[in-house]
Structure 1
Amino acid sequence: MMSDAEKIRVGSRKSELALIQTRHVISLLKKIHPDKDFEVVTMSTLGDKVLDIPLPKIGEKSLFTKELEAALSTSCVDFVVHSLKDLPTSLPPGMAIGAVLTREDPRDALVLQKDHDKYLLETLPEGSVIGTSSLRRTAQLARKYPHLKVESIRGNLNTRLKKLDELEKYRGIILASAGLLRMGWTSRITKILESEDLLYAVGQGALAVECREDDEKIISLLKPLYDVQTAIRVIAERSFLKTLGGGCSAPVAVCSELTRNKENKFTIKLKGAVWSLDGKEEIIEDGDCAVEIKDVKRCATCPYNFEIEHPSCVKDIENLKRCDTCPSNTSDENPAKKAKLDAIPVDMLKNDPHEHCPVALPIGVDFMGKCPYLEAAVVGKCPVNGVIEGGEPLKQCPFFKDAKLQVLQAHVSKEINTFCGLVPHDDAPLTSLKEAQDLGAKLAENLMKRGATEVMAQAQATIHSSVGTSVAS
């Protein structure tokens, strides 16, 4: 029996989706290393300490990331599983992405009310409300579908779907298809949106395993999970965003594609764009380069298959989903169980404090993570609109202040021995990883020459001004 000292400790957030992702990674590692013993260590966050009755969580980005990375840096955990799009393009000193798993579908998904599921974005009635808290989605919708009305919707996947079903406010919502897949709610997808409809977020659909940069033991352990084809794409995407110096505070989106030419020769294509908040200004560029990747006997389209000798897909441990693209898994055996939404009373949805935050945050501002003061059954605990016991009243949302500081940071630091945070892998020459990184940087530089910096700065200034005005009033 392995002692506690020999256990591999895996840090995780407490949300359902985070635990699904973490357990999935552990299940893959257990198949490769059945002798290893893994322990999930969930983090106690500021929100957990302040509140007793959590409402559906939102964001789960910077606050959760900081807690997990603190545990990593002090060796309380050995690695952490993230949605890659949540990780900044410049990681804290000493941190690295030890592996990215085979990417799931990075595209967005349109989820419509059940009585509107025959519609598409272009055919929805004039004035139909689409819910999203993403600036990149908002700007693209405003540009391509001006007949629609976009409004912010907060909460985790479960809460957003319940609000769509119960509140009769939204005709539809847009979510990442990968999240719906992981939660077992693919049946709710009305349509997968192609990149011609909406470009997606940098890193969307990919799981990343973060570890200490100098922990060779863990990096070696993660190697079988490291999908180089995914890595090439996300390195280009992350380099694009890092060079722009942007993030969720400005409408920025990408689309990447990796095509095999012959043997181990591939071409990576990258498209990136920046918009004004209203979508009227659009600056878009695309480019490509050649890369070399070793041939790996792994189903590149299946996030649940890492058996090299026996190419049969493993089951998703939470949703019993099997790969639809692998020939060996086309039977109706072991069908996916239907996931149900949590029972949340309609009155609670209507009175969700997230919908009544005294700081009128525009769409996209809540990207910095969940607000721990709005996770209570009553609004009065928010320091902007009440007093936390033992705390001082605040006149400005503290989480927006943190967000503003991070937004203004210049992402110019260079990681040592990594590519936008990703460690290299034997299946790809360093020159190929550098080519992908250079492609993203070059594309961003071309956008900046065409005025992307000014467009992003204007978007950020508008958001900051709106929040300041809202708080002051």
Structure 2
Amino acid sequence: MRLRLGTRGSPLALAQAHEVRDRLARAHGFAAEAVAITIIRTSGDSIQDRPLSEAGGKGLFTRELDLALMEGSIDFAVHSAKDLPTFLPDPLMISGFLPREDVRDVWISQKADHPRDLPAGSLVGTASLRRGALVKRLRPDLRVTLLRGNVETRLSKLAAGEVDATLLALAGLKRLGLSDKATRILDTDDFLPAAGQGAIGITARAGDAATAQLLAPILDPATGVALAAERAFLTILDGSCKTPIGAHATVANGMVTLRGIVLRPDGSQWFEAEESGPEAEAAALGERAAQAILSRLPQGFFQEAPVPDTI
């Protein structure tokens, strides 16, 4: 047996691919080498000079992997779940998710222990509209600028003094063995994570029963339920890289609780909602939370406040 796993080539993407490969090997009792890792460079990897919101959004990190799946050159693809667009091409499906890691963001700075403590006018670098908007919500006096590149690149730019602080996902740092780089783990009350943050998603061809059977033992149902709610929230709000959106669902005792937020890119205005319900209604409660926010949004909310390189 030889399985072909497709992935991006960043250190984090490869760490996630190896985690999937190792879990498959343990679940089925075969050698890890039976899963061949195929590195595929995506459009999102190539574009480093501008925000992804200006270049096409989330699909930039999945498009080439989707094409490889549709052409049959790989059997399944491994993604950071937060990079998955709300809709996949018809021949493809999300097979499921690994057990979720910590969803929280971290603050990294040699100049302040928390965003509240950074000197006025300091420069915060991030590639995430959500993180930038949340920083501005907390500290309107700070400047936020684009900081692209993989985790190691962003950390090196911070160390070189190009920015005074940055924010990253704790899950990614853990998978890279870099969690000691975090200055502060941020509370989700102030920094609600991106939908899917901390989860590894797997996509495959719809109807490929053999691959689905092999993947089934490593997939986590509770993570799937949580992400059903979060992704439904995104779908209703047209969640792409053009809109700062946070969503986090928790699952306990058969119930799902979702918190969601939508912000202006400059953090000057935001709207939140919370919904709870049975696991079977996860997607519906995500939709309800989004509709509750939509009913309160001022006209033109999604069209206003384009994001310059520096806010």
TM-score calculated relative to the size of structure 1:
0.60
Partner of 1:141, secondary structure, is helix
Corresponding residue for residue 277 of structure 2: 289
Partner of 1:217, secondary structure, is helix
Contact 2:96–2:219 (Cα < 8 Å) also in 1? yes
Output the amino acid matched with 2:98: L
Output the amino acid matched with 1:225: I
State the 4+ residue runs in structure 1 displaced beyond 6 angstroms: none
Partner of 1:458, secondary structure, is coil
Contact 1:283–1:452 (Cα < 8 Å) also in 2? no
The CA deviation at 1:82 is: 0.4
What are the residue-to-residue correspondences of 1:229-244 with 2, within 5 Å?
229-244=222-237
Matches of 2:211 and 2:142, distance apart in 1: 48
Contact 1:258–1:268 (Cα < 8 Å) also in 2? yes
Corresponding residue for residue 191 of structure 1: 184
| Superimposed CA distance per residue, residues 7-55 of structure 1 (whole angstroms, 9 cap, x where no aligned partner) | 111112222221111111001100111236211122255799xx9xx99
Q: For the structure 1 residues 276 and 26, does the alpha-carbon distance in structure 2 shift closer, same or farther, using more than 3 Å as the test?
A: same
Matches of 1:71 and 1:137, distance apart in 2: 31
Output the amino acid matched with 1:287: E
Corresponding residue for residue 124 of structure 2: 130
Partner of 2:117, secondary structure, is coil
Output the amino acid matched with 1:41: T
Contact 1:244–1:453 (Cα < 8 Å) also in 2? no
Output the amino acid matched with 2:23: L
Corresponding residue for residue 99 of structure 1: 96
Match of 2:13 among 18, 30, 34: 18
Matches of 1:448 and 1:46, distance apart in 2: 31
Matches of 2:15 and 2:249, distance apart in 1: 26
Match of 2:134 among 129, 140, 144: 140
Contact 2:44–2:61 (Cα < 8 Å) also in 1? no
The CA deviation at 1:457 is: 2.6
Matches of 2:210 and 2:84, distance apart in 1: 22
Q: For the structure 1 residues 210 and 453, does the alpha-carbon distance in structure 2 shift closer, same or farther, using more than 3 Å as the test?
A: farther
Match of 1:457 among 297, 303, 310: 303
| Superimposed CA distance per residue, residues 405-451 of structure 1 (whole angstroms, 9 cap, x where no aligned partner) | xxxxxxxxxxxxxxxxxxxxxxxxxxx1xx00000111111111112
Contact 1:253–1:274 (Cα < 8 Å) also in 2? yes
Corresponding residue for residue 205 of structure 2: 212
Matches of 1:288 and 1:40, distance apart in 2: 39
Corresponding residue for residue 3 of structure 2: 8
Q: For the structure 1 residues 23 and 126, does the alpha-carbon distance in structure 2 shift closer, same or farther, using more than 3 Å as the test?
A: same
The CA deviation at 1:140 is: 1.6
Unmatched segments (≥5 aa) in structure 2: none
Residue 151 (str. 1) matches residue 151 (str. 2)? no
Match of 1:41 among 29, 38, 42: 38
Match of 2:249 among 245, 251, 256: 256
Matches of 1:45 and 1:131, distance apart in 2: 23
Corresponding residue for residue 438 of structure 1: 284
Corresponding residue for residue 167 of structure 2: 174
TM-score calculated relative to the size of structure 2:
0.90
Residue 277 (str. 1) matches residue 265 (str. 2)? yes
Contact 1:106–1:178 (Cα < 8 Å) also in 2? yes
Corresponding residue for residue 30 of structure 1: 25
Matches of 1:227 and 1:206, distance apart in 2: 10
Matches of 1:105 and 1:195, distance apart in 2: 11
Output the amino acid matched with 2:283: Q
Matches of 1:284 and 1:46, distance apart in 2: 32
- Of 238-247 and 130-139, more deviation after overlay is shown by 130-139
Contact 2:229–2:285 (Cα < 8 Å) also in 1? yes
Matches of 1:256 and 1:188, distance apart in 2: 27
Contact 1:274–1:455 (Cα < 8 Å) also in 2? no
Partner of 2:115, secondary structure, is coil
Q: Which structure features the higher share of strand residues?
A: 2
Contact 1:269–1:286 (Cα < 8 Å) also in 2? yes
Matches of 1:157 and 1:96, distance apart in 2: 28
The CA deviation at 1:281 is: 1.5
Partner of 2:225, secondary structure, is helix
Matches of 2:257 and 2:102, distance apart in 1: 17
Contact 1:274–1:456 (Cα < 8 Å) also in 2? no
Output the amino acid matched with 2:75: D
| Superimposed CA distance per residue, residues 42-101 of structure 1 (whole angstroms, 9 cap, x where no aligned partner) | 2255799xx9xx999x97953442111111112111001000111111111111111201
Contact 1:271–1:284 (Cα < 8 Å) also in 2? yes
The structure number with the bigger radius of gyration is 1
| Superimposed CA distance per residue, residues 185-210 of structure 1 (whole angstroms, 9 cap, x where no aligned partner) | 10001111111121111101100011
What are the residue-to-residue correspondences of 1:53-132 with 2, within 5 Å?
62-113=59-110, 116=111, 119-132=113-126
Corresponding residue for residue 334 of structure 1: none
Q: For the structure 1 residues 221 and 155, does the alpha-carbon distance in structure 2 shift closer, same or farther, using more than 3 Å as the test?
A: same
Partner of 1:82, secondary structure, is strand
Output the amino acid matched with 1:174: L
Contact 2:104–2:170 (Cα < 8 Å) also in 1? yes
Q: For the structure 1 residues 453 and 137, does the alpha-carbon distance in structure 2 shift closer, same or farther, using more than 3 Å as the test?
A: farther
